[in-house]
A and B are shown apart, each in its own frame.
Chain A
Amino acid sequence: ETGVTQSPTHLIKTRGQQVTLRCSSQSGHNTVSWYQQALGQGPQFIFQYYREEENGRGNFPPRFSGLQFPNYSSELNVNALELDDSALYLCASSRGLAIDTGELFFGEGSRLTVL
């Protein structure tokens, strides 16, 4: 039990649609990062939010966007879905920019299928 919950756990969309994935972190965890994990691959960093502002971004196009809210929840939005967006989307939270200290907590992920 990591204290990080993601919703929905599974969803199916069609190409061109938009999707919003949600992540609820532990109280006090003001850093959240999002990852995309294709089948059989390691997670790829999408972006990170710290105190409600984006402070790092991986090699993903602008149609991947996010929000972080004061209540330690966050969203990943993907517009104009493409087939290759089918993947497991993971969020991870930590207290402060703490990925140097090992205090990193992952959710169970949202599995997105784009048809």
Chain B
Amino acid sequence: KNEVEQSPQNLTAQEGEFITINCSYSVGISALHWLQQHPGGGIVSLFMLSSGKKKHGRLIATINIQEKHSSLHITASHPRDSAVYICAVKKSSGDKLTFGTGTRLAVRP
């Protein structure tokens, strides 16, 4: 079983819909990252969370440390949001990041 699990694996939405992507992890962590990967391969860091909630534009990320769960929400989704969204955690021990397999999002106009 992977230490970081994401759901759903694939998601198709209509433009304007509210989207939620989930990440669950089974290890103690000191930080969780949400990343966006476009088809060309480049990755952009969206958020780093260690507690609570962060908001940037139409993106909101939350984390519940006790439940070992984080969510990424996209409000008023747009076709340009189409990408793979990856959750990555930094374990409490060590400096490396452990990644989920990603959620592939397609937003249709």
Interface, chain A (partner B; CB < 8 A): 2, 33, 35, 37, 40-45, 48, 55-56, 58, 88, 90, 92, 97, 99-109, 111
A108 and B96 in contact (CB under 8 A), knowing A42-B86, A99-B31? no
Contact of A104 with B33 in the complex, beta carbons under 8 Å: yes
Complex alpha-carbon distance, A56 and B95, angstroms: 7
A42 and B99 in contact (CB under 8 A), knowing A99-B90, A100-B50? yes
Contact of B30 with A100 in the complex, beta carbons under 8 Å: yes
- Assuming A48-B95, A88-B41, A90-B43, what are 15 further A-B pairs, CB within 8 angstroms? A33-B96, A42-B86, A43-B86, A43-B97, A44-B99, A45-B96, A48-B96, A56-B94, A56-B96, A58-B96, A99-B48, A100-B50, A102-B48, A106-B42, A109-B42
- Residue in chain A with minimal CB distance to B38: A108
CB distance from A7 to the nearest CB of B (A): 13
A33 and B41 in contact (CB under 8 A), knowing A100-B90, A102-B47, A104-B33? no
A45 and B97 in contact (CB under 8 A), knowing A101-B48, A102-B47? yes
Inter-chain contacts of B96 with A (CB < 8 A): 33, 45, 48, 56, 58
- Residue in chain A with minimal CB distance to B94: A56
Pick the contact of B41: A56, A58, A90, A97 (CB < 8 A): A90
Indicate whether B40 reaches chain A with its CB closer than 8 angstroms.
yes
- Residue in chain A with minimal CB distance to B86: A42
Complex alpha-carbon distance, A13 and B50, angstroms: 41
CB distance from B89 to the nearest CB of A (A): 10
Indicate whether B7 reaches chain A with its CB closer than 8 angstroms.
no
